Amino acid sequence: MTNKGKLARSKIGKSTQKYLDIAEIKENTVIMRDGTMRVVLMVSSINFYLKSEEEQDAIISSYVSFLNNLTFPLQVVIQSREMNIEEYLNRMKEKAHEQTNELLKMHTNENISFIQEFISDSKIMSKKFYIVVPYNPLSDKQKKFFSRFLETLKPARLIKMKEKYFIRRRRELTRRLDTVVSGLSSVGLHAVELDTQSLIELYYNSYNPRVSANEKLTEIKDLRINK
């Protein structure tokens, strides 16, 4: 590759990082460049239309009550992805090859053929549901405006320098997180907080949907960090 080509690739990498709003991900928390922070919940789903009319009314009532009791904004994200079942089909083919019972072997091959025919006509999609819980220090009414403003001055740099800023904001985020989890539970939804590894994978898959299908991320514990 020529020096010109290397320089072009370098510029592309730098420009991507420049426009990425995330400054850091640590301790199950997304730290944004503007000093605000996020935690992300993965939320289960319910089949609303299979519920009775009374159950539907109860769910709607609980959900409205949950929203009315919130004192901070939320972001609801629905991620839809095409499922890659090649690995599943390969495992089935291996099982069919290892099968000694001819009837079971034939049945397995028929299932493989059915799945291959089905996915050739329509895509199999998976949906995941997330709730993003934010915290902005400027929204903390208990502090004076000047104090809150100073905390947002070069926030990403301050957070890395002073752990106390992170601990304080994370504490407020945890309170909000507990409120959301409790409210969703009243609706019949189960919510789980994403850990650091899951957050990195979520954003990696979101920003690189094609690449992530074939290139998996290294586990955090296996990363070599140069200090």
Tens-of-pLDDT digits for all 227 residues of the chain?
555 444 444 444 455 556 678 888 899 999 888 888 999 999 999 999 999 999 999 999 999 999 999 999 999 999 887 777 777 888 888 888 888 888 888 888 888 888 888 777 777 778 899 999 999 877 655 455 445 555 555 555 544 536 778 888 899 999 999 999 999 999 999 999 999 999 988 888 888 776 655 555 555 455 443 33
Tokens of 73: 């904004």
pLDDT value of position 215: 58
Query: Reduced to 3 states, what is the DSSP secondary structure of residue 135?
Result: strand
Q: Taking Cα atoms as reference points, which of 133, 92, 132 lies closest to residue 114? A: 92
Q: Which two tokens stand for residue 171?
A: 């504490």
Q: In whole angstroms, give the CA distance from residue 103 to residue 178.
A: 54
The secondary structure of residue 60, as a DSSP letter, is H
Distance from C-alpha of 36 to C-alpha of 49, rounded to nearest angstrom: 38
The single-letter code of the amino acid at 80 is S
Q: How many CA atoms lie within 13 A of 195 on its CB side?
A: 3
pLDDT for position 226: 39
The pLDDT of residue 222 is 53
Rounded to two decimals, the pTM is 0.67
Q: Please give the Cα distance from 172 to 184 (Å, whole number).
A: 19
